[in-house]
Amino acid sequence: MSQEVIRISTPISDQERMSLRVGDIVLISGIIYTGRDAAHKLMVQALNNGEKLPFELNHQAIYYVGPTPAKPGQIIGSCGPTSSYRMDPYSPLLMANGLKVMIGKGPRSKAFQAQLVKNQAVYLDVTGGIGALLSKRVLKMEVIAYPWLESEAVHKLQVVDFPAIVAYDTCGNDIFNQ
């Protein structure tokens, strides 16, 4: 298992994504989008209805988070990851439509892992309990879809050196079983 630190920027190229291996520590800079299960359900419904999604999935990353409200003078409140398994039912269709980088917390189902390999996608794990620290990596935030979901709306975040670890890579390696 690697302990290499890799700086990546969004949009993430295919070559960059394919080179990531389980255990790599990544520092992400650029734009990432947020989405939890309620937003994922709406995006899957949109795809099933032939509707346009709120952002282009190709070469982008979704972070499973529902940020807390920002205090005065802050860009974002605490933004720690949520348990990712709740997105498992929605992820295959999103991956088939271009989503290749997902960021969250905790292990995923075997079915999800199989879809990662099939779609040559990666899952990055973020340490839970450090949401206040992670908020310092967010330079800008705006709601871009489903505002009625409040903290679970889709947000566009501009981040710098946002830390994560490759938990599942495109080759089917699994950090949780090592």
The mean pLDDT value for 9-19 works out to 95
Determine the topology of domain 5-171 in CATH: fumarase (3.20.130)
In the chain, the percentage of residues whose pLDDT exceeds 90 is: 90
Beta bridge partners of 165: 25, 125
- Residue 73, both tokens: 């003078």
- Please, which residues have CB within 8 angstroms of residue 49's CB and are 6 or more apart in sequence? none
Give the CB-side neighbour count of residue 120, counting CA atoms within 13 A: 11
Three-state DSSP at 138 gives strand
CA distances from 150 to 8, 42, 126, 143 (A): 29, 14, 22, 9
Q: What are the sequence ranges of the domains in the chain?
A: 5-171
Residues acting as catalytic residues: 40
Res 85: pLDDT = 95
The predicted model gives 66-71 an average pLDDT of: 90
CB atoms within 10 A of CB 160: 13
Question: What are 172's two structure tokens?
Answer: 């089917």
- Which amino acid makes up residue 58? N
Question: Model-level pTM?
Answer: 0.95
**Which two tokens mark 6?**
């890799």
Residue 174, pLDDT score: 95
